[in-house]
Structure 1
Amino acid sequence: MTDPGFSTPRAEIDQRIEKLQRRLLQEGIDGALILQNTDLFYFSGTIQQSHLYIPAQGPPLLMVRKSLKRAQSESPLSTILSLNSPKQLMTLIEENGLAPPAVMGMELDVLPTNLFFSYKRLFPAVDIRDISIPIRMVRAVKSAYELNLIRQAAAFSDQVAETVPHLLREGLTEIELAGMIEAQARRLGHQGIVRMRLWGAEMFYGHLMSGAAAAVPSFLASPTGGAAVSAAVAQGPSFRKIKRHEPILFDYVFAWKGYISDHTRIYAIGRPPQWLVDAHAHMLDLQEQIKAMATPGTSAGDLYSAAIEMATRKGVDAYFMGAEADRIRFIGHGVGLELDEFPFLAHGQTTELEEDMVIALEPKLVFPGEGVVGIENTHVVTPSGLEQLTHAQQQIVSI
């Protein structure tokens, strides 16, 4: 049985379900069938192999294939039943006093196509629609309970960052240093999994790269990539040895009880060239300006445009968030249970910020053949702008 202290409170789950139900009614959807692990955890408190049915009106129904006993110990929901086959879904829905849906929402942004077709065959009379945007918008605004966990994750992020100068020494390979840092994170309680929603996106603990290797681009939707240990991974630390007077990028995620803090710091053995120090200072200044602008009601796309204008005025736009064709077109992203949550501070995004959204703001400069400088912190949206949650030294830390 799971320790009750690890369980999501019933009032928290009820509040989340009520928010989704309001959106279902607005969209004209009779109910949502939720399968993805992160969404299951958010709305039920468990990731056991389940189907969670949330009607637009009425109590939710959690139907579990494996493990039923663990789901019952983890989830505060009232109705948790055994499910042997998806063929039983509609029968169980009706047997528990709920009307079978004519229009049903599913997470079509993450549901594999073969599974989608199998559900279409199971429910030929049901109109299946994408419910991913309403789910992600509900999840974008954090509760006090969630903010408390993210603040705890941010405090652990700072602790990990503060260990780096004590571990760093010339001649270590990137992968050796990464392993020592990750061991410390694990000792503090890092869950060991960093969840991402975007198809094909994956990450371990984060990126630890030095000098020119940090500026090697990759497939990931990130300004940094890294030489990596092989083409099978194509991101992150490599076997390259760390040298003196070069920037060392530490871009790590701390995941605590499901919730994420994302931050970046720059270190160096000795002092890097002054032009890199100056470039880093530009990113610190840009961060502070965006933080002040990011108030509720501000368009996410407008913040991206403002950041581009600032980088241009500072004369570093050619390297801002990547170089040339490998540049990404965002400066920040929501975080919560996943690393790539709403909102995205990206080109063309019309989403307006809301109080208690949580955003990782990450202005960075990527200089091919030289390295990466910049900053990233996790913030919460408040009426006066972004409140920074990660507080480790933001200047380049030279040892």
Structure 2
Amino acid sequence: MYRSDGKVPEAEIKQRIDRLQSQLGDAGADAALIVQKADLYYFSGTVQDAHLYIPREGKPLLMARKALERAAAESSVGDIVPLKSARQIPEILKRNAYPTPKTLGMELDVLSANLYLDYQRIFDGSVILDVSRFIRLTRMIKSPYEIGILREAGRKADELYAGIPSMIREGIPEVELAGLVEARARKLGHQGTVRMRLWGSEMFFGHLMAGPSAAVPSFLASPTGGEGTGPAVGQSAGFRPVGRNEPIMVDYPFVYQGYISDQTRIFAVGAISDEWLRAQEAMIEIQSLIQKAARPGASVGELYDMAVARAAELGYADHFMGAGPGRVRFIGHGTGLELDEYPFIAKGRKTPIAEGMCIALEPKLIFPGKGVVGTENTHIVTPDGLMPLTTFNEGIVRVD
């Protein structure tokens, strides 16, 4: 299971590589060359500057440029060799008795066009294919080792949220409150970086906004945005002071040893209206509905439709998961080493729920000019449905 030194066990790495190798044939690839940081860590146990070559059959080869000694200490891949330039890779493969691949799989969903063209020149006798979908499917089902780390991330997230009420006071600027929360998260072991796969997506810790600020839309594929500190970031906490009797939304993933537990809670200074309380309870009800329905075999698209239908029945159709053109068409997403992993609980998706998936459900209501309420918890799929890893009070937590 999970080891405190943080090194991914050799058996875990081997199991992951074996699973990808079993899919390379379906992908039409003779081998895969892994370069993206989250994927590199998943399959090798290190994020040092390296290329991981995984043939369809046989042992993988890790070629490390910077820092070789650290990569060798961190990785459980058996064969690790130095690399000065990517141009050397074909010769290194030849020296280590790997046949030249006719088809080479790469992560074309995240690889830049310039890098793709470089690799085409380096492997001029090979056809480069996209194997990103197969990599993401391999990563979608979490092992007991990964679930152990995710449980700890969830526990630390609850510990973080339990300390937030003592930091909140009327008049504190959102960005100052965010700094206090982030400092506590770091003390608890948050790694700082929140990895996202979607091109152009970026986020610093998460979203923390109060009242109308929380309902300001942004570019991010999220139901919430926030004013931010200016147009250069365009999301999350800004300089607006926290007021009384308004919802304060804290949507901060906790990232521990690479793995992300996503969580949202609502706080308020002083009393808050029955309208907000009813809206919050409605989102908790929808979450409970999906938690029970998301058993192995259920369609993610049908779960999405179920949530949207219930939101309409409760009178929140115009505000569920956004308002107007800013509405997103999902109610949940996979999480793991990245915040936007498979599966997506989204409109029209047909992926069946499977045991071992890690899913963050985030039913939220956005009221432009007023604020945001809702909840979010990270879950592991069990035979009986979703088991939450985050359990801190889901009601609106009043701070007097």
TM-score (norm. length: structure 1): 0.98
Q: Distance in 2 between matches of 1:382 and 1:4?
A: 25
User: Alignment partner of 2:5: what SS?
Assistant: helix
The alpha carbon displacement at 1:25 in A equals 2.1
User: Alignment partner of 1:284: what SS?
Assistant: helix
Any residues of structure 2 matched to 1:299-318 within 5 Å, and which? 299-318=299-318
5+ residue gaps, structure 2? none
Structure 2 equivalent of residue 228 of structure 1: 228
Structure 1 equivalent of residue 36 of structure 2: 36
Q: Distance in 1 between matches of 2:249 and 2:6?
A: 33
Is the CA contact 1:4–1:74 (under 8 Å) kept in the aligned structure 2? no
Is the CA contact 2:27–2:131 (under 8 Å) kept in the aligned structure 1? no
The alpha carbon displacement at 1:297 in A equals 1.2
5+ residue gaps, structure 1? none
Q: Distance in 2 between matches of 1:219 and 1:27?
A: 33
Q: Distance in 1 between matches of 2:123 and 2:26?
A: 23
Any residues of structure 2 matched to 1:1-399 within 5 Å, and which? 5-399=5-399
Higher deviation after alignment, 278-287 or 347-356: 347-356
The alpha carbon displacement at 1:266 in A equals 0.3
Q: Distance in 2 between matches of 1:209 and 1:163?
A: 17
The alpha carbon displacement at 1:237 in A equals 0.5
- Percent identity, aligned pairs only, is 52
Q: Distance in 2 between matches of 1:217 and 1:40?
A: 33
The alpha carbon displacement at 1:4 in A equals 8.4
User: Alignment partner of 1:26: what SS?
Assistant: helix
Q: Distance in 1 between matches of 2:123 and 2:151?
A: 43
Q: Distance in 2 between matches of 1:261 and 1:205?
A: 12
The alpha carbon displacement at 1:311 in A equals 0.6
Q: Which amino acid aligns with 2:6?
A: F
Instruction: Deviation per CA, 1:228-283: give whole Å up to 9, x if none.
Output: 11110000001100011000001001100100000000000112111111011000
Instruction: Deviation per CA, 1:185-207: give whole Å up to 9, x if none.
Output: 00011101000000000011111
Q: Distance in 1 between matches of 2:122 and 2:176?
A: 51
Q: Which amino acid aligns with 1:52?
A: L
The alpha carbon displacement at 1:97 in A equals 2.0
Q: Which amino acid aligns with 2:128?
A: I
User: Alignment partner of 1:317: what SS?
Assistant: coil
**In structure 2, do the counterparts of structure 1 residues 188 and 4 end up closer, same or farther at CA, with 3 Å as the change threshold?**
closer
Q: Which amino acid aligns with 2:32?
A: A
Instruction: Deviation per CA, 1:108-162: give whole Å up to 9, x if none.
Output: 0000000001111122221110010000000010000000000000001001101
Aligned residues: 397
Is the CA contact 1:154–1:261 (under 8 Å) kept in the aligned structure 2? yes
RMSD of the alignment, in Å? 1.0
Q: Distance in 1 between matches of 2:27 and 2:160?
A: 44
Q: Which amino acid aligns with 1:110?
A: V
Is the CA contact 2:90–2:122 (under 8 Å) kept in the aligned structure 1? no
Is the CA contact 1:268–1:397 (under 8 Å) kept in the aligned structure 2? yes
Is the CA contact 1:58–1:98 (under 8 Å) kept in the aligned structure 2? no
Q: Distance in 1 between matches of 2:338 and 2:31?
A: 24
Q: Distance in 1 between matches of 2:53 and 2:122?
A: 15
Q: Distance in 1 between matches of 2:136 and 2:27?
A: 14
